[in-house]
Amino acid sequence: MSSPRDVVITGIGLVSSLGEGPDAHWQKLTRPGVEPVLDATRFAPYTIHPLPEIDWNLQIAKRGDQRQMETWQRLGTYVAGLALDDAGIKGNDELCATMDMVVAAGGGERDEAVDSAILA
């Protein structure tokens, strides 16, 4: 029996310095001797994990929308599209209208009260 608080994960959208998609990550993370992808020069003295090349057009159709978003917002929107693709429901407007989607992306501060409520 389902309740309004049930959580079902049907698709995963993932982009990191290791690549794009769960398959790319699995292949790299299960390889012996895998090393993190780091860039210590671009924002010296800080070391970052750089993103791979991303064709934002694959998940964010309107260039105007892309221009209005900061990188972390584009990234969240992009991986949400990947998750919908992975679940096989991208473009199913009727189904998408009945669901909530949670996107976790860096770039903003955490709201610990909201995080605690979600975990509870």
pLDDT tens over the chain, length 120 residues: 567 777 677 888 999 999 999 999 999 999 999 999 999 999 889 999 999 999 999 999 999 999 999 888 899 899 999 999 999 988 899 988 888 777 765 555 667 788 788 877
For residues 16-53, one letter each, b for 16 or more C-beta atoms within 10 angstroms of the residue's C-beta and e for the rest, the string is bebbbbeeebeeeeeeeeeeeeeeeeeeeeeeeeeeee
The pLDDT score that the predictor gives to residue 72 is 84
The pLDDT score that the predictor gives to residue 99 is 82
Give the Cα-Cα-Cα angle 55, 61, 66 (nearest 5 degrees): 70
Instruction: Give the whole-angstrom CA distance, residue 12 versus residue 30.
Output: 18
Reported pTM: 0.74
The pLDDT score that the predictor gives to residue 110 is 67
CA torsion angle for 68, 53, 78, 108 (degrees, to 10)?
A: -60
For the chain, domain boundaries: 15-115
The pLDDT score that the predictor gives to residue 109 is 62
